[in-house]
Amino acid sequence: MATFKGLVSSLVRKLRPRPFEGSEAYWRARYEEGGNSGVGSYGKFAEFKAEVLNGFVAERGIATVIEFGSGDGNQLSLATYPRYAGYDVSDAAIAACRARFASDPTRTFAPMSAYAGETAELALSLDVIYHLVEDAVFERYMRTLFAAATKHVAIYASDTDEDRGDGAHVRHRKFTAWIARELPGWKLVRHLPNRYPYKGDYKTGCFSDFYFFEPVTA
């Protein structure tokens, strides 16, 4: 009987929604429990992002790419970047990516805790910013992202302060205003609206657009 009760208790814990304990804890738990990077990294959304980014890399002759929030690697599987370095807060996600791309020496992965100031011509942030619910985490991430770029920054995210009721793990931010105020050495050079705009169903539309930044030249 005790064993049966233990099994029931374990099942209840798995079925009960996990309390939100912060953005990093959320993503660590999500990947550790077998979750993936979400609908935005699969299907038509992933194909749209790959088309835009692969085209941008080819157009600008970019040789090196760095990404903060590499996730499970499914989006990367569609990329044609010459060299790529991915960082993530989840050790489970990093392990999965290392296994998935083990035969490709042009792809490297490391936890954010191991990031030591590496740079690349293009720094990427895809579907990350609106998951950084804490102000300090958001600001640290943004400064790291732009400091890592030598020529370009590409962000795929929502750009609004509107609370849309998307859950505790989502906080929309008008990040372009933050960049204009806090990082005046960078300018927005291209805004590309989503091919599949959000109309109430996250499975068919997305609230993220593309934003490309370059350094301000004298």
- At 189, is the secondary structure helix, strand, or coil? strand
Digit-coded pLDDT (tens) for 30-55: 777 777 776 778 889 999 999 999 99
Domains of the chain, residue spans: 21-215
Q: What is the mean pLDDT of the chain?
A: 87
Please enumerate in sequence order all residues whose Cβ is within 8 A of that of 181, keeping only pairs 6 or more positions apart, or say none.
none
Digit-coded pLDDT (tens) for 140-174: 999 999 999 999 999 999 999 887 655 677 899 99
Residue 155: φ, ψ to 5°: -120, 135
The secondary structure of 132-153 as a DSSP string is: --SHHHHHHHHHHHHHTEEEEE
| pLDDT(9) > 80 | no
CA torsion 147-76-93-124 (nearest 10°) is 20
Please enumerate in sequence order all residues whose Cβ is within 8 A of that of 166, keeping only pairs 6 or more positions apart, or say none.
130, 172
Digit-coded pLDDT (tens) for 81-107: 999 999 999 999 999 999 999 999 999
DSSP character at residue 184:
T
Residue 172 has what pLDDT?
A: 93
- Helices marked H in the chain — which ranges? 2-15, 23-32, 43-60, 91-100, 135-147, 175-182
Give me the half-sphere count of Cα atoms (radius 13 Å) on the Cβ side of residue 68: 32
Residue 138 has what pLDDT?
A: 96
- Report the CATH architecture of 21-215: 3-Layer(aba) Sandwich (3.40)
Residue type, 21: E
Handedness of CA 99, 102, 106, 110 (dihedral sign): positive
Q: Give the pLDDT band of residue 20 (cuts 50, 70, 90).
A: low
Residue 159 has what pLDDT?
A: 96
Q: Give the pLDDT band of residue 11 (cuts 50, 70, 90).
A: very low
| pLDDT(202) > 90 | no
Q: Give the pLDDT band of residue 22 (cuts 50, 70, 90).
A: confident
Contact status, residue 50 vs residue 79, Cβ threshold 8 Å: yes
Token duo for residue 27: 């993503």
CA–CA gap between residue 83 and residue 106 (Å, rounded): 5
| Among 193, 122, 121, residue whose Cα is nearest residue 154 | 122
Residue 135: φ, ψ to 5°: -60, -45
| pLDDT(72) > 80 | yes
| Among 188, 150, 156, 137, residue whose Cα is nearest residue 71 | 156
